[in-house]
Structures are given as C-alpha cells and as structure tokens.
Amino acid sequence: MPLEIEITDAQIGLAESVLLPEGKGFDDQRVDFIKNLATLDLHAVPGSGKTTALMAKLIALEQHLPFTDKSGILVLSHTNAAVDEIKSKIGHFCPRLFNYPNYIGTIQSFTDAFLTIPYYKTLHRKRPVRIDNEIYNEHHYPDPKLKSWLGKRGDGDEILYDYRLKDGDQLTYKLDGTPFKFKTGSTFQKILNIKKK
C-alpha cells in the first residue's frame, strides 16, 4: 500500500453513513484503528464491532483505489461468515474492492486459488475438475470392506482422519503420540497403506 495514503474524517463519515444507524458515529478508539495503516492486531470480544470497524477502513481505502503502486488489499478470514458479511454490507458501495488486485476471502479459498491450484496445474499439466470431500473419499476408500468397517464404527472418520503416520509404519493419534488401537490384521494394514499413500 502506498505510504502517502491518508484516511480522512470525510471518508470515515461516509463509512458511518453506510454502516451505522443514523446519528451514530465511531468512537475515538475505532477512528484511531480506521486511520491507522500500520500492521496491527485488533483484539476485542465477539460482538464488539471488529468487523464493522474493518469494513469502515475498507470503505475509506476503496476511495484510494487503484493504488499508484498497483498493489491491492488482502482481507483473509478463517470462516465465510465475516467474508459474507463484508460482501453483503459494502459490496455494492465498494465495487473496486472486490476486483483484482484486491482479494477478500477465507484463508482456504486464498490458498486454493493462489497456491494449491497453481501447484496442481504445474505438477499435472491440467486443471482440477472439482475439489471436494467426495473425491477424497473415493480415493481413500478403495476397499469396500474397509469402507463398511469404518462406517459401522462411531469413530470411523476419526480413525481415518485423526491418525498420523509416524516412523514409516506406525499410526499415532493426532499429535499426542497415542498408538493406533488395532495393531494387527487387514484393517490396520489397509489404513496404514492409505496413510503411507
């Protein structure tokens, strides 16, 4: 982001008119956050207005787009809830914010779009057709007996997903090192082979 950008009181006023009830304004603490363009962490309890303050900052920054240095704004969230709220509340006020080189989305969607899919295309010389749990399950449940055995257990998904491969031929639970419950038999071998693959 160019260093010469300054968020003005008029831009904050515009954000207040879009986001807050009539006659309401941001307090000094939120105005300080909105105007601050340094890297910082915002810590507050749920429902305290973090997303609203972020949206106000985005509305103000959108007035400066496109940036002179051709850079953009990146907003990442752990879940779709914040992304959906941002898009629904300010999407029609800030159309430039939702176009390249800017990106607003989840960490997973960003990783897929800019890391995983490009890597896959480079490695396999084709685009992925779809990315979802069905393909994963088709690939990792090649044996109908294993699928049936896991399906009958209350912890079938836990066995398949939460166990990790250790030292090439051992299965341990997550990262705590608890050994796999079943150390012999064809089921153990099938799950071990899946983890090795």
Same-domain pairing of 16 and 89: yes
Half-sphere exposure of residue 179, counting CA atoms within 13 Å on the CB side? 8
Question: Is 132 among the domain residues?
Answer: no
For 63-87, the pLDDT digits (tens) are 999 998 999 999 998 888 889 999 9
163 confidence band (pLDDT: 50, 70, 90):
confident
Question: Is 128 among the domain residues?
Answer: no
Looking at per-residue pLDDT, the higher value among 62 and 187 belongs to: 62
Please give the residue range of the domain that contains residue 158: 143-196
- Alpha carbons 53 and 41: distance in angstroms, whole number: 13
Same-domain pairing of 96 and 163: no
pLDDT of residue 149: 75
Last residue of one domain, picked from the residues 75, 93, 114:
114
pLDDT of residue 190: 79
Same-domain pairing of 110 and 147: no
Number of helical H runs and strand E runs in the chain: 10, 5
pLDDT of residue 135: 65
- pLDDT for residue 13 is more than 90: yes
Same-domain pairing of 96 and 149: no
Bond preceding residue 46 cis, omega within 30 of 0: no
Average pLDDT over residues 38-63: 90
Same-domain pairing of 16 and 68: yes
For 95-128, the pLDDT digits (tens) are 999 999 999 999 989 999 999 999 999 999 998 8
Same-domain pairing of 75 and 27: yes
Last residue of one domain, picked from the residues 114, 133, 161:
114
Helices 50-62 and 28-35 pack at an angle, to 10 degrees, of 50
Same-domain pairing of 15 and 110: yes
- How many structural domains are present in the chain? 2
Question: Is 130 among the domain residues?
Answer: no
Question: Is 121 among the domain residues?
Answer: no
